[in-house]
Amino acid sequence: MAKKEMEVVKNLDVERYMGRWYEIASFPSRFQPKNGVDTRATYSLNEDGTVHVLNETWNDGKRGYIEGSAYKADPKSDEAKLKKVSLDIEQETPSR
């Protein structure tokens, strides 16, 4: 546990955050397989200002993913906090 609460980034340039981000380390999570590889998140800006989110990982040659959208938690705040709109589609497909 952290000794103090982490600070939220202020004045985030959302457009610079868009793109593909690769995971280099992780903590165990029920949302991703223990032996997942090539785990990544891809973010893109939707026309309505929400963020499209695609999280992917591969395990035993099968692709698992969760896809959805997120929006700014408090539009009046300069803090970079997002809330999910929907992030509930999870499927596996054959290897790439």
Domains (range + CATH), the chain: 14-25+33-93 (2.40.128.20)
pLDDT at residue 12 in the model: 78
Give the confidence band of 46 by pLDDT, cuts at 50, 70, 90. Answer: very high
In contact, 73 and 42? CB cutoff 8 Å: no
pTM: 0.73
Q: Is 58 exposed, middle or buried (0-12, 13-18, 19+ CB in 10 A)?
A: buried
Question: Lowest mean pLDDT: which of 47-56, 65-74, 87-96?
Answer: 87-96
In contact, 59 and 74? CB cutoff 8 Å: no
pLDDT at residue 72 in the model: 76
Question: Lowest mean pLDDT: which of 2-6, 51-55, 87-91?
Answer: 87-91
How much of the chain is in helix, strand and coil states, percent to nearest 5?
5, 50, 45
